[in-house]
Amino acid sequence: MKPQIIVCGLGRTGKKIFKLLKQQGAAVVGINDRPLSGENKDIIIGELRSQQTLIAAGIKEAHTLVIANNDDAVNLGILATARLLNPHLKIVNRLFNQTLGERLDLTLEQHLSMSVSAIAAPIFAFASLGNKAIGQLSLFGQTWPVTEEIITPNHPWLNKKLEQLWDNPAQMWMYYFPFEGKYNIVEAVLNGESLKVGDRIIVAHPPSAGNRNRDRIKKLSRAIGNLQRYRPYISPVILVNLALLGIIALATLTYVCFDLNTSAVDALYFSIGMITGAGGQEQVAETAPDSVKIFTSVMMVVGTGVIGLCYALTNDFILGSRIKQFWDAARVPNRHHYVICGLGIIGLQIARQLHAQGYEVVVVEPDRNNRFLKTVREMGIPVIVDDATFAGALTGANIARADCLIAVTSKDMSNVEIALTAKGLAPKLRVVLRVQEAQLARSMQEVFSFDRVLCPLQIATPSFAAAALGGKVLGNGITKDLLWVALATTIAPDHSFCASLVKDVATEADFVPLFLERNKQMIRGWDLLETQLNSGDILYLAMPATNLDRLCSQPVAYRSATVEYDPSLFGLENIGRLCSRNLNRN
């Protein structure tokens, strides 16, 4: 029997999760604090944190609780009440505070915290690189983009044998949808099937790596070349300091010319002391004629004003935010960089991912008090504190030579305005933007011809649904209303897969084996298909969510793969070093 799932909090996110679980055939009950417009079947109305409400929803018999409310405090209250009523309940908890979520995951068993922004950010990052990802797969400390390949008459894979593609170390097959017939991917590979027009394949690829310039000398020269962008801010400081030096030089020259017995050093010492008010060598002016004394008095007044301005401007530039803005503007890349407008949680996550993959990133954020500014600057990412809806801010980010603009502020109209402004400055620029409604995303992409318009809620919903259905989910995606998930299952002695060949159970249960972890070694490719599953093995697989009930009674691995590997090997040209040696096939 399928496990019962309760979705608590049917706001925009919760409602989407509830509907998707229903669509996948799960036994699901919803809880909301007010009636929904339309059908309220299988929905309990009541206070979300109330024991009576949770009991009425069947919390004591439920297998999983998905807490999808948008208030962390309320979600923690629901968590506490639910655990008191059912200590063994698996909880999928939506939390904005990711640090709190990580601590809860470490403290509580059967607790998985998830964030819409953290889930959606990799898809935005992949889209900015030109990759139309439909999902993601977390493997070996990296996030792999998952794409759907549709075989067309011009596709390079047309008429290729599936067995030729199956063992390619540069990709990981997730699922296969033949245009004609009903073939499981393993069955198709073993039968020697070829790809035909109309076939669809879901496949994951290792993330691409950028070539961020790490040469300090080149970075310094680039910074010097970019100084002119900050001329309006540094010019007043330079001019006032030059004026101060000019006044000191004029006074020194006057005193030396008046009395040839006065050394240049004494005249300079007196001039600086007179202008700054520190005093010293007053005898230089005491015996001077009245004209020199009047000149000295004028220099005292003028010097006091100039040095006051000099202190004020210099202190504001160095001790204020100007020096940070100056250095940020000086470090803006000249070309092939990615401009992120809006430094919220999702903007921060996108910046982290692109930066970690080696790409040059620039952030444009109007709020100088934004809590994430320090975090981004610590990563070495330049930040332009300005409103990205203005062309000047985007020009300062060198938008004309950027590879992509990513508009992810919290306001849909601001994102559209930023995107249109950027397109006006650079018509061929790739543009990715965020909107709150999935329907609006499709309309805007068609009307304005933006490269990608993405809705974070639409991206994250399958992840929540997959987590509710399948334990520790490594990845997921959705294509043509079919949700597929990637997960890890531990082979116990009483597991139905134990002592069976991978190819046999994969064909019978309709899943795609990704790889097998045995004694911290990875087995994949042809070796995997011919391997017999033993107790203690961890099998990583992908399958439709509708088939997850076949695994529900089996232990699920609640950890990432522990295969020992060198992360540097995961370039496309080296990924095969991690794989087992292929079996020779006739």
Domain ranges of the chain: 4-114, 227-323, 334-458, 467-578
d(CA 398, CA 387): 15
The residue among 2, 54, 6 whose CA lies nearest residue 30 is 6
Does 144 or 318 have the greater pLDDT score? 144
Does 126 or 307 have the greater pLDDT score? 126
The residue among 479, 423, 424 whose CA lies nearest residue 451 is 423
Residue 227 has pLDDT above 70, yes or no: no
Quick one: tokens of 234?
């540094």
The bridge status of strand 200-204 relative to strand 172-177 is: antiparallel
Contact status, residue 230 vs residue 299, Cβ threshold 8 Å:
no
d(CA 473, CA 321): 43
DSSP code for 548: G
Q: Domain 334-458 belongs to what architecture?
A: 3-Layer(aba) Sandwich (3.40)
d(CA 486, CA 146): 11
% of the chain surpassing 70 pLDDT = 82
pLDDT at 557: 43
- Give the chain's mean pLDDT: 81
Window from 57-71, 182-196, 227-241, 349-363 with minimum mean pLDDT: 227-241
Residues 6+ apart with CB under 8 A from 568: 574
Q: What sign for the dihedral angle of Cα 334, 339, 344, 345?
A: negative
d(CA 242, CA 313): 13
pLDDT at 84: 94
pLDDT at 164: 82
Contact status, residue 171 vs residue 155, Cβ threshold 8 Å:
no
Does 143 or 157 have the greater pLDDT score? 157
Q: What are the tens digits of pLDDT across the range 26-40?
A: 899 999 999 888 777
SS3 165: helix
Q: For residues 72-86, give the mean pLDDT.
A: 94
DSSP code for 580: P
Q: What are the tens digits of pLDDT across the range 88-141?
A: 999 999 998 888 999 999 999 889 999 998 888 888 998 898 877 788 888 777
Quick one: tokens of 48?
């979300």
The residue among 173, 168, 170, 165 whose CA lies nearest residue 203 is 173
Q: For residues 372-396, give the mean pLDDT.
A: 90
Window from 250-264, 281-295, 393-407, 568-582 with minimum mean pLDDT: 568-582
Quick one: tokens of 20?
């998707």
Q: What are the tens digits of pLDDT across the range 11-25?
A: 989 998 998 888 878
CA distances to 327, 339, 372, 385 from 321, in Å: 10, 21, 15, 10
Sheet holding 452-454, edge to edge: 383-384, 360-364, 337-341, 404-407, 430-434, 452-454
Residue with tokens 């070996």: 140
Quick one: tokens of 96?
């904005």
pLDDT at 108: 93
The residue among 21, 13, 69, 159 whose CA lies nearest residue 478 is 21
Q: What are the tens digits of pLDDT across the range 509-537?
A: 888 998 899 988 888 888 899 999 999 89
Contact status, residue 400 vs residue 383, Cβ threshold 8 Å:
no
Please return the burial class of 211, using the count of CB atoms within 10 Å of its CB with bins 0-12, 13-18 and 19+: exposed
Element at 301 (helix H, strand E): helix 290-319
% of the chain surpassing 90 pLDDT = 29
What is the domain class of 467-578 according to CATH? alpha beta
| DSSP letters spanning 316-362 | HHHHSSHHHHHHHHHT--SSSEEEEE--SHHHHHHHHHHHHTT-EEE
Q: Domain 227-323 belongs to what architecture?
A: Orthogonal Bundle (1.10)
Residue 555 has pLDDT above 50, yes or no: no
d(CA 123, CA 113): 19
CATH fold for the domain made of 4-114 = Rossmann fold (3.40.50)
Do the two domains 4-114 and 334-458 of this chain adopt the same fold?
A: yes
pLDDT at 472: 64
